[in-house]
Structure 1
Amino acid sequence: MAGPNAPELLTRPDGTPIRVLAVDDENSLTELLSMAMRYEGWEPTTAATGSDAVRAARDTNPDAIVLDMMLPDFDGLEVMRRVRAEQPDVPVIFLTAKDAVNDRIVGLTAGGDDYVTKPFSVEELMARLRSLLRRSGATSKRSESELIVGDLVLDEDSHEVTRGGDEIHLTATEFELLRYLMRNPKRVLSKAQILDRVWNYDFGGQANVVELYISYLRKKIDAGREPMIHTMRGAGYVLKPA
């Protein structure tokens, strides 16, 4: 759970990660922004040209766009115009050169939501993004009682579980098993570890109960969807975002 000094964790209202498209022809800058966004628990997508940005926005349906005003093919204003023709409400933060006062005025007049002048601190940009996302209504504050892995959300207080917004009904043991997996995402857990944590007894001929309950969970969590629960032969099980 987040401590008192941990950054506020934002998600989409359905619990899935915030999606942000970062557009700049400086690869080192978009890599830096991607790292900062992943640290926030968001899903970044990058593009280096206007045409790539329009295509990426269509593919990912971002919650916000960080958009350089100057791009190799066409400018950021044209990117915003084309994206908003299909996604009229997506908020945009423009990146502008320090001396390009006209760019900033034109960008905001044309419908941009904010701008940051290069060079800028990543911390400042991320703070602006968080504020913009909250204002736009694209986010909900992540409850400290929630565990979230990909589009799977488990509320430890209410015992509600959803995947992709669809409610999933679990027995008490299934819930406890899923909670243990979700507290250790991307980590391989052995049958012995699972038995000890979920059933509270030592490993000794009881591996089949773990296999049985993993199969129950799979039918409820993964049925008809991209699998999240994976068997690592000879090692155990791992829960990963789809």
Structure 2
Amino acid sequence: MNKILIVEDEESIRGFLKINLKRNDFEVIEAESGEEGLKKADIYIPDLAVLDIMLPGIDGFEVCSKLRERYPNIGIIMLTARGQDMDKIMGLEYGADDYIVKPFNPLELVLRVKAILRRIGEEKIEDKNKLIREPFIIDLYSQKLLKNNIEVDVTPKEYLLMKLFLENPNKAFTRDELLNLVWGYNYFGDPKLIDVNIRRLRAKIEDDSSTPKFIETIWGIGYRWKG
């Protein structure tokens, strides 16, 4: 059951929101002020927050900013007064996903909540298919390597080397270990094959392959990803 945090100082509006959200099988957490909202967010870790802009104490913009900083994946909808276009712009700048104008149709609010939660769910699934270690991303689904969101053309073995390194930052691998893990335990080749592939890989991913900052040589042993 998704948890929705409502931060609204007007009891009538808060109750109205609570009734309609609970009718749609959401768990609802209530707060009357920005400070209380942040405290309850830390306790309950909601999936989405509905924030009024005009709150006693810290306003909705600050609450939005703090929630986005603490919980990057949380959904946030701002409640704004009719005609306050600047509120809409500021809300989006502070990290809100959407805004809704008072007075509003409860069905519209529920649909927007569901749309944001659906998108968040899709992003979480997508994240599981990616191995991220800035500035590199390995897309496990398509088996592509990206640097600064630009695809790097690598061979299948270079891809496997990168995947192994990114999954094990700071781990020193011997040449024999890399040969076994990437080429397979039944492969009886020269360990110098690793040096050749590392050199080619460095030429593709390093800013300056002569002074590598990602793949570090461990003299007498092998290689390590500097994570």
- Give 1:124's match in structure 2, choosing from 90, 95, 108: 108
- Give 2:55's match in structure 1, choosing from 51, 57, 71: 71
C-alpha deviation, 1:42, in angstroms: 1.3
Q: What secondary structure is seen at the aligned counterpart in 2 of 1:115?
A: strand
- 1:77 maps to a residue whose letter is F
Tell me which protein shows more helix as a share of its residues. 2
Which residue number in structure 2 is paired with residue 22 of structure 1?
A: 6
Note if 1:32 corresponds to 2:16: yes
Are the equivalent residues in 2 in contact too, given 1:95–1:115 (CA < 8 A)?
yes
Query: Within 1, Cα distance between the matches of 2:90 and 2:68?
Result: 16
Are the equivalent residues in 2 in contact too, given 1:63–1:138 (CA < 8 A)?
no
Equivalenced residue count is 124
C-alpha deviation, 1:111, in angstroms: 1.5
Which residue number in structure 1 is paired with residue 37 of structure 2?
A: 53
Query: Within 2, Cα distance between the matches of 1:99 and 1:40?
Result: 29
Normalised TM-score (structure 1): 0.49
What's the % identity of the aligned pairs?
37
**Superposed CA offset, 1:73-128 (max 9, x none):** 11111111222232121110000011211010111122110000011111111111
Query: Within 1, Cα distance between the matches of 2:123 and 2:15?
Result: 23
Query: Within 1, Cα distance between the matches of 2:96 and 2:34?
Result: 16
C-alpha deviation, 1:39, in angstroms: 1.1
- 1:29 maps to a residue whose letter is I
Which residue number in structure 2 is paired with residue 93 of structure 1?
A: 77
Query: Within 2, Cα distance between the matches of 1:61 and 1:35?
Result: 21
- 2:45 maps to a residue whose letter is N
Query: Within 1, Cα distance between the matches of 2:115 and 2:42?
Result: 24
Where does structure 2 lack aligned partners over 5 or more consecutive residues? 125-227
- 1:53 maps to a residue whose letter is G
**Superposed CA offset, 1:5-26 (max 9, x none):** xxxxxxxxxxxx1100011111
Normalised TM-score (structure 2): 0.52
Q: What secondary structure is seen at the aligned counterpart in 2 of 1:120?
A: coil
Query: Within 1, Cα distance between the matches of 2:123 and 2:107?
Result: 19
Which residue number in structure 1 is paired with residue 188 of structure 2?
A: none
- 1:105 maps to a residue whose letter is I
Q: What secondary structure is seen at the aligned counterpart in 2 of 1:137?
A: helix
Query: Within 1, Cα distance between the matches of 2:89 and 2:123?
Result: 28
Query: Within 1, Cα distance between the matches of 2:47 and 2:63?
Result: 15
Are the equivalent residues in 1 in contact too, given 2:5–2:49 (CA < 8 A)?
yes
Which residue number in structure 2 is paired with residue 190 of structure 1?
A: none
Kindly name which structure, 1 or 2, has the bigger radius of gyration based on alpha carbons: 2
C-alpha deviation, 1:139, in angstroms: 10
Note if 1:110 corresponds to 2:86: no
**Superposed CA offset, 1:149-172 (max 9, x none):** xxxxxxxxxxxxxxxxxxxxxxxx
Query: Within 2, Cα distance between the matches of 1:131 and 1:58?
Result: 24
Computed over aligned residues only, the root mean square deviation of the Cα atoms, in angstroms, reads 1.7
Query: Within 2, Cα distance between the matches of 1:27 and 1:66?
Result: 14
- 1:35 maps to a residue whose letter is I
Q: What secondary structure is seen at the aligned counterpart in 2 of 1:94?
A: strand
Query: Within 1, Cα distance between the matches of 2:3 and 2:80?
Result: 22
C-alpha deviation, 1:41, in angstroms: 1.3
Which residue number in structure 2 is paired with residue 163 of structure 1?
A: none
